[in-house]
Amino acid sequence: MMALAGSLWVGVAQPLPPRHETWVIHDLYSPPAGFNPLMVPGVAYWGTYIMYPTLFLGNVYYGPKLEEVLLPYLASGFRWVDSLTLEVTLRPEARWWDGVPITAHDVKFSWELGKRHPTYWNTAFWDFLEEVRVIDDKVVQFVTTPPKAVYFELLRMLTTALVLPRHRWEPLEAKYGANLTVDFKDDDPAQIVGGGPYKLERWDLDYALYVRVDDWWGKDIFGLPRPKYLLHRTFKTAAARNLAFERGEVDAICSVIEVWELQARGLPIRSYYDEPPYFLPSFGWGLFINFARPPLNDPILRRAIAYALPAEEIGRSLPVPHAPAHPTMIIDVYAWAKALIDEKVVADYGWRYDPEKAKQLLDAAGIVDRDGDGVREMPDGTRLGPWTVTCWTGFADGMLATDLIAHHLRKIGIDVVAEFYDFVVWDGKVIRGEFDMTFRWIFGITFGYPWNVFRAFLDPRVTGPVGTPYPVGNWHRYMNWAVVPILDAIPKEPDPEKVKAYYSLLQLYQLRDVVVVPLLYGVIGHVFSEQYWVGWPTSTRPDGWMHSIVTGTWPGALPQLFGLVPAGEDFMTSPYDTHMKRWIVPVSAFWDALAKAPKAG
């Protein structure tokens, strides 16, 4: 007993790493459940993304033009053997921390783990893949088949799937079997074998500390990142996190806060743009109107609703102003995305805020108020309402927007009130299709944008009968089977002109049927402090590697870390600028190579 007390007394006071050598970020989720990368994402700790390498690093916001690029990480290059076989060559220098070389066998093993363990989220790409073939120690081939070929998913696989050391994980899999993703937490830092530039040093409920691997295999290729320590802190509330950030205890946070207020107080805090709108748009918000609740499926009524909503005013009334979204759901801020918008379709079928037009549409269709109660009726006498437009309590901006939506719809004679539920209830109702209208998110940019968005909101296959939960998308039950062949063709189509034509068709459906009423762009939370580190990606940094440090998309944020230097130094001397960025290739290289590849027999 005495001994125990004594050891407690003596053995605990570990020194904290020096602040100026440490890069501190946060994560709002609960304490780490462990460091086993096979655990569910969002639960599996983001540190696994720094400890285990991916084949490529991907970014969709590269440089001032915000382009899509790839950075070969574990891979040194790729080539299309034919249109169904992608060959990736691994860097000869690559080796695990224990000195064992990283080989094609590790890749094959890691991918096949995903086959055996269904929660192996990041590598469960078997819906798009037929086989992973080892050619030799440093060459691996990914083989797909015509029905499975979804090139966007292959691209995503290259940039997000982690490679694990087979020599450690094969025995582990034998030991834990099917429980490898549940019982094995891998929370002893000494046992972990990775291949990334940082390794876990120690962790507790409220932090995880990583230390740089100074003899990392990539140091001559990419340079060594300047921060010696990475500290990942967990805060219980956004309030506590914001406080720590303001006090300089945290270097970056990935949420949307009032940067200008902090700047006014003289804090060295910045965001992507130094002037409004401060943040890059992404991930938006829209009004979803349920097709399964007639007469809400009436195209004229839906169109009138779209015309009646002042997206700009709603966006402006939020604490952090949000820009109005383009009706096609394609973010028109990025040139490459904007190029996909078919202006003719938009001119014919699009809409903008015009309440008079909304009323005219309804009047012309005979949707008028016959009994003088201020609410219109359909020609068959069905009253427009009482309906609700829902959102979840606790999401202040959303509640405010929802209130405004209801308000503006009442103005054109639709009986709608805003109703708020707890997240669980609201979400449960929405994914089961049990709602009239709801204010909910529209997906943002990843590889394959805007295909991913149309896939989620137009595809009848991702949804099903009302009452059954379909969490993926199309909560509004848009059952137009004509979109299916188009959606299936896009990811298999190497010809950009044809892809553009397909997107025009999708926009036509979206606008003609008013599938979703996009209202606001969300913003990418990217706020950082220049107190200790400079060189963050901003609109003015040359070749900036903008990447939100959101948990789920972490691996792509690694170059951001390489771009930092201690405050006071010139960030153009960072390893990112001196070593790393020369490897960057545009994603178009992937598509061009694919287009030139021989057609698979």
Among positions 165-224, residues that touch another protein (CB under 8 A) are 181-183, 185, 204-207, 209
φ and ψ at residue 198, rounded to 5 degrees: -130, 145
At closest approach, how far in Å is the CB of 371 from another protein?
Answer: 27
Residue 54 found at the interface with another protein (CB under 8 A): no
Q: Measured between alpha carbons, how far is 388 from 419 in angstroms, rounded to an integer?
A: 6
Residue 317 found at the interface with another protein (CB under 8 A): yes
Residues in 225-244 at the binding interface with another protein, rule: CB under 8 A: 233, 235-240, 242-243
Residue 424 found at the interface with another protein (CB under 8 A): yes
x-or-dash pattern for another protein, window 550-569, by CB under 8 A?
Answer: xxxx----------------
Total binding residues toward another protein, as defined by CB under 8 A: 84
Residue 2 found at the interface with another protein (CB under 8 A): no
* Among the listed residues 20, 31, 171, 371, the single contact to another protein using CB under 8 A: 31
* Among the listed residues 19, 21, 28, 33, the single contact to another protein using CB under 8 A: 33
User: Sign of the C-alpha dihedral, residues 446, 451, 457, 460?
Assistant: negative
Q: Contact, 102 vs 76, CB < 8 A?
A: no
At closest approach, how far in Å is the CB of 156 from another protein?
Answer: 8
User: Sign of the C-alpha dihedral, residues 337, 339, 343, 344?
Assistant: negative
At closest approach, how far in Å is the CB of 524 from another protein?
Answer: 13
**Residue with smaller CB distance to another protein, 113 or 304:** 113
At closest approach, how far in Å is the CB of 239 from another protein?
Answer: 4
* Among the listed residues 386, 411, 441, 495, the single contact to another protein using CB under 8 A: 441
Residue 273 found at the interface with another protein (CB under 8 A): no
Q: Measured between alpha carbons, how far is 470 from 599 in angstroms, rounded to an integer?
A: 37
For residue 143, the Cα-to-chain-centroid distance in whole angstroms is 26
Residue 13 found at the interface with another protein (CB under 8 A): yes
Residue 267 found at the interface with another protein (CB under 8 A): no
* Among the listed residues 419, 493, 530, 569, the single contact to another protein using CB under 8 A: 419
Terminal CA-CA length for the chain: 74
Q: Which span sits near another protein by CB under 8 A: 271-279, 359-367, 437-445, 525-533?
A: 437-445
* 3-state SS assignment for residue 449: coil
Residue 264 found at the interface with another protein (CB under 8 A): no
Residues in 477-506 at the binding interface with another protein, rule: CB under 8 A: none
* Among the listed residues 25, 39, 180, 558, the single contact to another protein using CB under 8 A: 39
Residue 159 found at the interface with another protein (CB under 8 A): no
Residue 293 found at the interface with another protein (CB under 8 A): no
Question: Which residues neighbour 213 within 8 Å (Cβ) at sequence distance 6 or greater?
Answer: 97, 196, 197, 198, 199
**Residue with smaller CB distance to another protein, 95 or 232:** 232
Q: Contact, 533 vs 23, CB < 8 A?
A: yes
Closest CA to 256 of 277, 237, 231: 277
Residue 334, both tokens: 């990025």
At closest approach, how far in Å is the CB of 210 from another protein?
Answer: 14
At closest approach, how far in Å is the CB of 442 from another protein?
Answer: 11
Residues in 356-415 at the binding interface with another protein, rule: CB under 8 A: 393-394, 396, 400, 403
Q: Contact, 216 vs 197, CB < 8 A?
A: yes
* Among the listed residues 1, 2, 3, 12, the single contact to another protein using CB under 8 A: 12
At closest approach, how far in Å is the CB of 114 from another protein?
Answer: 10
Q: Measured between alpha carbons, how far is 253 from 235 in angstroms, rounded to an integer?
A: 11
* Among the listed residues 473, 535, 544, 555, the single contact to another protein using CB under 8 A: 473
At closest approach, how far in Å is the CB of 132 from another protein?
Answer: 18
Residue 420 found at the interface with another protein (CB under 8 A): yes
Q: Contact, 101 vs 94, CB < 8 A?
A: yes
Cα dihedral value 29, 452, 38, 49, nearest 10: -70
**Residue with smaller CB distance to another protein, 132 or 254:** 254
* Among the listed residues 462, 501, 594, 597, the single contact to another protein using CB under 8 A: 462
Residue 469 found at the interface with another protein (CB under 8 A): yes
Parallel, antiparallel or unpaired: strands 527-529 and 252-253: antiparallel
**Residue with smaller CB distance to another protein, 97 or 126:** 126
Residue 159, both tokens: 């940039």
Closest CA to 562 of 298, 230, 190: 230
* Among the listed residues 2, 11, 266, 481, the single contact to another protein using CB under 8 A: 11
Residue burial 364-382, b: 16+ Cβ < 10 Å; e: rest: ebebeeeeeeebbbbeeee
User: Exposed, middle or buried, 47 (CB in 10 Å: 0-12/13-18/19+)?
Assistant: buried
Q: Measured between alpha carbons, how far is 582 from 222 in angstroms, rounded to an integer?
A: 9
* Among the listed residues 20, 42, 145, 598, the single contact to another protein using CB under 8 A: 42
Residues in 73-132 at the binding interface with another protein, rule: CB under 8 A: 118-119, 121, 124, 127
At closest approach, how far in Å is the CB of 240 from another protein?
Answer: 5
At closest approach, how far in Å is the CB of 152 from another protein?
Answer: 9
Could you write out the DSSP letters of every residue in 104-166? HHHHHHHHHHHHH-TT-GGG--TTS-SEEEEEETTEEEEE--TTT--HHHHHHHHHHPBP--H
Residue 162 found at the interface with another protein (CB under 8 A): no
x-or-dash pattern for another protein, window 121-150, by CB under 8 A?
Answer: x--x--x----------------------x
Closest CA to 337 of 199, 563, 503: 503
